Amino acid sequence: MSWHPHLWHPTTQVATSPEPLQVHSARGSELVLADGRRLIDAISSWWVTLHGHAEPAIAAAIARQAQQLEQVIFTNFSHAPAEQLATRISALTGLERLFFSDNGSTAVEVALKIAWQWWRNQGSGDAAGLRRQVIAFEGAYHGDTFGAMALGERSLFTDPYEPLLFAVARVAWPHSHWGDDAVEQREHHALRQLERALETPTAAVILEPLIQGASGMRVVRPAFLRAVAERVKAAGALLIADEVFTGFGRTGDLFACRRAGIQPDLMALSKGLTGGFLPMGVTMASERLYQGFISERPEATFFHGHSFTANPLGCAAALASLDLLQAHPERFQQFELRHTPLLEELAQHPLVRRPRCVGTMAAFDVEAGEASYLNPVGKQIQRHCLEQGVYLRPLGNVVYLLPPLGISTPQLEQCYGALRSAVDALA
């Protein structure tokens, strides 16, 4: 296949990238290419395909909803699928209010705007400079829209837009791995940094609970997150949890915040929300924040919206996906046990460093050249695994697996076999 004359692919440099593979269909954990080849989708198509491709229960729910109500403006109307989804996710997250958007980046934007305007509505975000600081963590990635970019780590991806990004205070992210003996010292340093940063009146602190995904599957311990949450609360700031990646079973519990034992004020969700079928994002907020926008003053209104807010088809897909998650919790609760022996064996390889595993995610670093997203070793491993029937997308020298929940044991073993073959080839 050649490059299509009218398409512009994301995060792709056409001058140096191979032509895209033509996908004909997909089922379960497999992609079927136009030439008949089959590939195991070992990263859930950018972390969205939760249960598996073409999951029958979700497809059927969307079809039923399409026969009844496919879309309606959500400003003057409501509908049962949106109300049911809000009730269920509220019960699961402990956050009473749900605001719909279109994807993970916009879900983060909504959380940031709610936090910022809430303080302004309280009279603590005025020109005097009160509660104007936002704190994020080193290595963070929160999306590609402007507010989300500003919250994320400055990098090659954000350099062209630097003059347009607002300042954010940064705190170290003390990520760890199996056998890491120095993590407590790094956590202590990071917490001291946070305490100093919080001395400045702060509107909100945002974090990716348990795992920073795009920056290299960088894992922190639950105890660190609990210590962060305690300090944020003591300082009177709001805590935003970006669970776009970690939500819906990816970390071994329905939400990473639940596994870590923290309760944020705001939570951004997307990716696995609809089981990977349809684009949708939601931002959960506490009732306290919601009440801060109820006023006779028009300027207190949260003036934000999207054309496809609360799309009924997306809501139907999300409800069906939740049904599957709650009917079969063992599929995500026990996935870590499936990864562990296979990763332990792979970790014996001399080029494999810093193995880590949380829920459905398993990762390691390859000891080859610079630790960087641009390290070409990732593309070498990707090419090798494609030849073995496995699709991966390493983050430079960081290699990870994040398969659909429905992947079979032979398929998971095939993924690890392909990785072993790939690092052998490098050696």
The model's confidence at residue 128, banded by pLDDT at 50, 70 and 90, is: very low
Cα separation, 40 vs 37, whole angstroms: 10
Report whether 248 contacts 284 (CB < 8 A): no
Of 72, 101, 97, 70, the residue nearest 86 (C-alpha): 97
Determine the straight-line distance between the first and last CA of the chain, rounded to whole angstroms.
32
pTM for the complete prediction? 0.97
Q: What is the pLDDT of residue 125?
A: 58
Q: Which structure tokens are listed for 367?
A: 């000891």
Q: What is the pLDDT of residue 129?
A: 56
- State phi, psi for 190 to the nearest 5 degrees: -65, -40
List, in sequence order, every residue forming a beta bridge with 284; answer none if it has no partner: 98, 267
- State phi, psi for 328 to the nearest 5 degrees: -135, 60
Q: Which residues contact 169 (CB under 8 A, 6 or more apart)?
A: 133, 134, 135, 136, 197, 200, 202
Name the average pLDDT for the chain: 96
Report whether 388 contacts 414 (CB < 8 A): yes
Q: What is the pLDDT of residue 1?
A: 59
Q: Per residue in 238-272, pLDDT tens?
A: 999 999 999 999 999 999 999 999 999 999 999 99
Tell me the mean pLDDT in the region 369-393.
Answer: 93
Q: Which structure tokens are listed for 376?
A: 């070409």
Least confident of 220-229, 268-277, 370-379: 370-379
Q: Per residue in 5-41, pLDDT tens?
A: 999 999 999 999 999 999 999 999 999 999 999 999 9
Angle at 147 between CA 146 and CA 150, to 5 degrees: 85
Cα separation, 427 vs 425, whole angstroms: 5
- pLDDT exceeds 90 at position 368: no
Report the Cα 366 to chain-centroid distance in Å.
Answer: 23
Q: What is the pLDDT of residue 123?
A: 86
List, in sequence order, every residue forming a beta bridge with 207; answer none if it has no partner: 241
- pLDDT exceeds 60 at position 87: yes
